[in-house]
A = this chain, B = another copy of it.
Amino acid sequence: MKKSVFYHAGCPVCISAEHDIVSLIGLENVEIIHLGNEKDKIEDAEKVGVISVPALVTPSGNVLHINFGASIEDVKN
């Protein structure tokens, strides 16, 4: 199975959701990207439709925005 991608920015809401997602779908099935540390990937995230973090992009390309930690605009700063 193609991996899901979990985008976050280190916020408490993000970390909590990350633990839940990893526990539910397995660490081997998800690539975790910290947009605060990898700012060059913010553009990729926006292109696939991520508007806030934490967000999970499924193998089929759907974006699941999970709870609300920060907007993608906030992550740019």
Q: Which of A6-56 contact B (CB under 8 A)?
A: 16-17, 20, 23-25, 29
Q: For the complex formed by this chain, how many copies does it contain in all?
A: 2
Main secondary structure on A side of the interface with B: mixed
Q: What is the interface residue range for chain A against chain B? A: 10 to 19
| A16 and B62 within 8 A (CB) | yes
Given contacts A23-B58, A23-B59, 4 further A-B contacts (CB under 8 A): A25-B25, A64-B66, A65-B68, A66-B66
Instruction: State the A residues within 8 Å of B (CB).
Output: 4, 16-17, 20, 23-25, 29, 58-60, 62, 64-68
Q: Can you list 17 pairs linking A and B with CB atoms under 8 Å apart? A: A4-B24, A16-B62, A20-B58, A20-B60, A20-B62, A23-B58, A23-B60, A24-B24, A24-B25, A24-B29, A24-B58, A64-B66, A64-B67, A65-B66, A65-B67, A65-B68, A66-B66
